[in-house]
Amino acid sequence: MSLDRKAIGRRTARILLDTGSILLRPDRPFMLSSGWASPAYLDMPRALSLPLARRALLDGAEARILEEVGFDGFDAVAATEQGGIAIGAMLAERFHLPFVTVRRRAQGFGADAHIEGALRPGARTLLVSDVTTDGRSKAGYSRALARAGAEVTTIFVLFKWGIFDRVVTDIADIGASLFALATWEDVLPEAEARGTWPPATLAELRRYLADPFAWSAAHGGLPAPV
């Protein structure tokens, strides 16, 4: 049975909550790899480690990708080295397409030094990862693929924070679009309805989402996009 975008987003939120993959710690903020301080952390490998959750996430990912890109919209799947390899490899298998990994730092020499695997020049490549915060690292991975001769117009992630303007500017600058299975807009109604977190903790998460820059700066993280 097909699901629309909103239904997929809410189902993804339920999966993340059911599997304990969303960690909230306002009193001891997480320092995300992007440099932001956050009261929340997404543990996507935990969700992917559980068979029923993994299958549901893959089903949702396949449906959304085909909706956004089409059945003949890409020739290869590339995964970011941090968080993208498992989901990228499984999606490449589903789509019967070549699969490569993109490294943040070069592992060799030449234009394809950031790429592990065989990538045909000119291949229309779908870049896959688990989570994105501000989009800067995804833009960097896309540029590495472009230097290797790939064409990257679409980036897919399981979860997009959706609260940082940078996710629009950096991704748009490279001529790509980014979409996700779910954002915080999907998670909050589900968490509130089931009483997942104490009211004070949920209120602190809402304060963070309303002004992540101020919250990050007040807790030792980046104060603004750089």
Read off the pLDDT of residues 63-111 as tens digits, 9 standing for 90 and up. 999 999 999 999 999 999 988 999 999 999 999 999 999 987 766 655 5
- Tell me the HSE value of 127 on the side-chain side, using a 13 A CA sphere: 31
SS3 state of residue 61? helix
pLDDT at 104: 75
Q: Report in angstroms the alpha-carbon separations of 176 from 100, 166, 221.
A: 19, 13, 28
Say if residues 187 and 22 touch (Cβ distance below 8 Å).
yes
Q: Where are the beta strands (DSSP E) in the chain?
A: 22-24, 30-31, 37-38, 40-42, 76-80, 99-102, 115-116, 124-132, 151-160, 177-182
SS3 state of residue 44? helix
Question: Which residue has tokens 């020049």?
Answer: 121
pLDDT at 1: 38
Buried b / exposed e along 171-202 (16+ C-beta atoms within 10 A):
beebebebebbbbbebbbebbeeeebbeeebb
pLDDT at 120: 93
- Say how far apart CA 184 and CA 206 lie, in whole Å: 10
DSSP at 218? H
pLDDT at 107: 66
Whole-model pTM: value is 0.91
Per-residue pLDDT of the chain (226 residues; tens, 9 = 90+): 356 999 999 999 999 999 999 999 999 999 998 889 999 999 999 999 999 999 999 999 999 999 999 999 999 999 999 889 999 999 999 999 999 999 877 666 555 678 999 999 999 999 999 999 988 889 999 999 999 999 998 999 999 999 886 656 678 778 889 999 999 999 999 999 999 999 999 999 999 999 999 999 999 998 876 6
- Say how far apart CA 223 and CA 217 lie, in whole Å: 4
| CA 177 to chain CA centroid, nearest Å | 13
- Say how far apart CA 113 and CA 107 lie, in whole Å: 6
